[in-house]
Structure 1
Amino acid sequence: MTLRRGFLTISQWAEKIENALAHPQDVGPIRNIDAGDERPFDAIFIGGGAAGRFGAAYMRAMGGRPLIIDRWPFLGGSCPHNACVPHHLFSDCAAELMLTRSFAGELWFPDLRGKIVSIKEVVDLFRKGRTGPHAVMNYQSKEQLDLEFVLNAPAHILDAGAVEAAGEIFRARALVLACGAAAAPLDAPGAHLLGVHTYASIVETLDKEPGPTIVVIGGGKTAVEYGCFFNATGRRVVMLVRNRPLDMIADGETRGYALDRMREQGVEIVEGAHIVEIIGDAEGRAARVIAETSTGRLEIETDFVFHALGERPHSDMAVETLGVEVDAKGAIVVDDALRTSIPGVYAVGDLIGAPMEMFKARKSGAFAARSIMGEAVKYRAADWPDFLHTHYEVSWLGLGEEAARARYSNVVVLKLPPDTPDGLNVGLPAGDRTMLYAMARPHMSGFQKLILDGDTRRVIGAHHVGYGAKDAFQYLNALVKRGLTIDELGDLDELFLNPTYFIQLARLRAGQRKLTSM
């Protein structure tokens, strides 16, 4: 199917994508190539996810000629299809359900005590709705960004400047590997059984409502986010964690508050757990999980196991055909200009390892494009703000208090709730989505901490558990990296009730010549 001179509306794109997903061979390759442009391609982007699409768009905006090749019939990659977007949907559901269960039978809330709600209905809802973002990105890429692409066709690397797809050979002066990553496999007997899922398979293959008990293997972002959603639906959730959960949260108090609220909702967390086996029933479906823990052998009856053990980059094709250098985890090694060990070959996004985050994918794609087009660029993902979902939004940047005290001699901490024995009963911080908690369940209204170097008055860390703050961390982080002081933060104009309270707290203390904690 050739589209260059054709036009599809967003709705028509959605229909085309649905048909291609259901019958990929019948639809065949989807081509959008400008036959009238006689220039050679500056780069072929293998993969049209966040890294490839943003990289190609940036190159096109600079006057270059990129080509995207992707096996999917849509641009945007796994994020809207089975990764980031569903976990945000599930986290929205977790927050709504926690609120409803916290006020069960009170005010206008229904009584969900002892009731299990459907997981499959939410998954089915997502399946029906996910084509919309795909269609928008296809439309935007063709009609607004003027990108050339070949979709619904896997790419086969021939050499550092040539790729075969859809029966054609395409050549360019540079090759950008943007193949993404997939969930790391579970190395345990029984991992193949029905009812054993990753973040991708739950969306694609869930065919049965999970029973009353769910086992989650892992303690990182994905494991916690999905585990909290499963818990919020009313099920017993047992998290089996090899080390400790939420280890990426550097500040101990912030991590502790988030974990306390998870446990309060009923999430069972078993640290130091090693999976021995998943035992199936006569129909080949998971029936029981066996694990070794620090206190002995643990057996849990369950028909649903979710594992999130990190991601593995899709680097095999590049290694086999080009011989690119990879690290011990299979991530392609690149320099600050996103160049691999093979001249003319670049790699971006999840393919180059942690952090496997959207911001890095988009930004690395753009930096690779700039590098190919002759700019002297340097990019390493460092000092970024971060977040995850429990039943709450948890956001952080900079140093945790422990690391700050190890590095600085005069650390000042401003936080809410106050650090007193009854601080959790104060109902602060209260802001977006926490006002009912503040009035009736104050210990659930959130936690925040601002960490300062008392000598330079600079902000060196910020941490928040609640809602509505994570967007602000994108901009707060840029200010912190530029040396934001408590005085400058206190001079900002806040929106009341701002979920972070950082401006208010800064203003309350900025008048002190010698800063003290609060």
Structure 2
Amino acid sequence: MFSSPKGLLHSTFNKRRVHIMDIQEIWNARPHTLSISEWGDRIEEHLEGERQNEAIFNLDPDDDREYNAIFVGGGAAGRFGSAYLKALGGRQLVIDRWPFLGGSCPHNACVPHHLFSDCAAELMLNREFFGRYWFSNLDGKIVNMKELVDLFRQGRNGPHAIMNFQSKEQLDMEYILNASARIIDNHTVEVCGQIFKAKNLILSMGSTANKLGIPGEELKGVFDYESFVEELDYEPGDTAVVVGGGKTSVIYGCFFNATGRKTTLVVRSTLLKLIPDSETRGYVIDRMKEQGMEILEGSNLIRVEDDGNGKAGAAIIQTPDGERRIETDFIFTGLGETPNSEEAAEILGLELSEKKEIIVNDKMQTNVPNVYAVGDMIGAPMEMFKARKSGCYTARHIMGEDISYVPRDWPDFVHSHYEISWFGLSEDEAREQYDNVVTIKMPPENENGLNIGLPASDRMMMFAMDKPALSGFQKLVIDGDTRKVLGAHHVGCGAKDAFQYLSRMVKAGLTVDDLGEMDELFLNPTHFIQLSRLRAGNKVLVDL
């Protein structure tokens, strides 16, 4: 890590200017081993301190082989793909505009999502039991939101440091960080004035949050998931308007609500339509409403009014019942993302979809020879597992393996005040495809509705004992003829870990009898095991 006075090259992605260095100087100056804590300090210097204009080079002076692949972008897809290609005996180079590997997930995307979801769950528990037991009285109190954003900012360099250390010292990857690559052709990139060539080019430049394109969107106080953690420098008032009906909007909206702010969700069509099971979705939305959230479906934010000082002062919303004005200094948009594909597509002649996704085959190959695209560049699902797997599958194909990867039938989740997990078919979907559908679910249907303390499991026990309607919901969908599990759905806490394994087992033919044979760790969020055992003895399955 060093600088040179030889000149400057404009960085096209992050608008930084990085020092150009002689190639021999670069190779002779491979940085010495840094500890994880030293990496943390160094990354901070590159982000905010005296090293902002310095690129970080880690190239192998003893390897004179041609690169098998250059990964343009070192996020989840680029880092995992690079590590896999290296492990298979190839030579890789990953280039990223950030001074760290791992991309936006730990910096301003999925990691803060989880932090704020944890806060929402904790605050919901506290508000439900305020003034009792050891819980403080939060009645009418608004929790400081900026403090939590600052907490995240202070802690996010830890994961960055670990990934840089791991990538260099344990995975032996070659990389150039804190500098952008300029694509020249399907084998060539320029970085800091130096030319690098490879047999293949892998595009992994991520995505950017979508904008509304409405008057007032540029005002201070209008945020997306990235600008919220990067730019929030004031404590918002007692009202929040959230635009969108998908994961990001619900995750953040529930957090804002849990801090004590009157939160309105403005949804163009249907809230949480990504949850396939209607009964599960209904439970989630009912709980959101009980927490005081207002939901405006079939509505659009049409403009943001200035408060007279260049800040948001009000949100103007077109609803099915007419125009509505909500005074607020805080508006959050969660409208999905668009791949950062246009510049590369123009240079290379790539084929794009209407949503600017790079079109690839099941080998991750584009229409241009020796050019692959991975992660968010190829569109939905814009999830971590797909980014990592697409990077790894691309590496395997480049190294000669006959592979095929199309993301489908994955376990999914979203956070509200709860953790919602699902995989496979919903009950309605199953009934459209199978003649004999059986369900096992909690809470049981009875004359008291939801007022039953089941399911009782991790982090739901206070609710189960005192506020049973809030203790969660779960459903297992089964083909009664073959006894195979078709899908599972859960609202509560802790099931997400199990679902990523159960989903794989269901694809292999998991039956209700197999579930009944498992050794459950009681109490746990996946009551399906013990409940399946109660039904496994029935030759003819019936609902439970």
User: Shorter-chain TM-score category?
Assistant: over 0.9
Residue 68 (structure 1) aligned to one of 94, 101, 119: 94
Q: In structure 1, what is the Cα distance between the partners aligned to 2:304 and 2:135?
A: 38
1:22-81 deviation digits (Å, cap 9, x = unpaired)? 147654110000111110100000010000000000000000001000000000000000
1:266 corresponds to 2:296: no
- Corresponding residue number in structure 1 for 2:301: 275
1:321 corresponds to 2:347: yes
Residue 336 (structure 1) aligned to one of 362, 384, 391: 362
- Aligned residue identity for 2:254: C
- Corresponding residue number in structure 1 for 2:396: 370
Q: In structure 2, what is the Cα distance between the partners aligned to 1:272 and 1:398?
A: 28
Q: In structure 2, what is the Cα distance between the partners aligned to 1:405 and 1:298?
A: 41
1:456 corresponds to 2:482: yes
Alignment of 1:90-105 (within 5 A): 90-105=116-131
Q: Secondary structure at the match of 2:450?
A: helix
- Aligned residue identity for 2:120: A
- Corresponding residue number in structure 1 for 2:275: 249
Q: In structure 2, what is the Cα distance between the partners aligned to 1:85 and 1:5?
A: 29
Alignment of 1:67-216 (within 5 A): 67-216=93-242
- Corresponding residue number in structure 2 for 1:42: 68
- Corresponding residue number in structure 1 for 2:512: 486
Residue 415 (structure 1) aligned to one of 441, 455, 471: 441
- Aligned residue identity for 2:459: R
Identical aligned residues as a percent: 60
Q: Contact 2:425 / 2:487 at 8 angstroms: preserved in 1?
A: yes
Q: In structure 2, what is the Cα distance between the partners aligned to 1:75 and 1:43?
A: 17
Q: How many residues of Structure 1 are paired with residues of Structure 2 in the alignment?
A: 518
Q: In structure 2, what is the Cα distance between the partners aligned to 1:516 and 1:69?
A: 57
Q: Secondary structure at the match of 1:89?
A: helix
Q: Contact 1:198 / 1:307 at 8 angstroms: preserved in 2?
A: yes
1:224 corresponds to 2:258: no
1:362-410 deviation digits (Å, cap 9, x = unpaired)? 0000000001111110000000000010000000000111111111111
- Corresponding residue number in structure 2 for 1:467: 493
Q: Secondary structure at the match of 1:424?
A: coil
- Aligned residue identity for 1:344: N
Q: CA, structure 1 residues 26+484, in 2 after alignment: closer, same or farther (shift >3 Å)?
A: closer
- Corresponding residue number in structure 1 for 2:429: 403
Q: In structure 2, what is the Cα distance between the partners aligned to 1:26 and 1:45?
A: 22
Q: CA, structure 1 residues 5+239, in 2 after alignment: closer, same or farther (shift >3 Å)?
A: closer
- Aligned residue identity for 1:481: K
Q: In structure 1, what is the Cα distance between the partners aligned to 2:360 and 2:288?
A: 38
- Aligned residue identity for 1:312: T
RMSD in angstroms over aligned alpha carbons?
0.9
1:284-340 deviation digits (Å, cap 9, x = unpaired)? 100011111111111100000000111000001211110111101001000000000
1:335-370 deviation digits (Å, cap 9, x = unpaired)? 000000100000000110000000000000000000
1:298 corresponds to 2:324: yes
Residue 79 (structure 2) aligned to one of 53, 77, 98: 53
1:237-294 deviation digits (Å, cap 9, x = unpaired)? 0000001111100000000001111111011100010222111111110001111111
- Aligned residue identity for 1:11: S
How far the C-alpha of 1:420 sits from its partner, in A, is 2.2
- Aligned residue identity for 1:135: A
Q: Contact 1:429 / 1:500 at 8 angstroms: preserved in 2?
A: no
Q: Contact 1:19 / 1:27 at 8 angstroms: preserved in 2?
A: no
- Aligned residue identity for 1:148: E
How far the C-alpha of 1:426 sits from its partner, in A, is 1.0
TM-score (norm 2): 0.94
- Corresponding residue number in structure 1 for 2:19: none
1:430 corresponds to 2:462: no
How far the C-alpha of 1:423 sits from its partner, in A, is 3.8
Q: CA, structure 1 residues 125+26, in 2 after alignment: closer, same or farther (shift >3 Å)?
A: closer
How far the C-alpha of 1:421 sits from its partner, in A, is 3.3
- Corresponding residue number in structure 2 for 1:28: 54
Q: Secondary structure at the match of 2:532?
A: helix
Gaps of 5+ in 2: 2-25
Q: Contact 1:24 / 1:152 at 8 angstroms: preserved in 2?
A: no
Q: In structure 1, what is the Cα distance between the partners aligned to 2:318 and 2:449?
A: 38
Q: Contact 1:446 / 1:464 at 8 angstroms: preserved in 2?
A: yes
1:441 corresponds to 2:467: yes
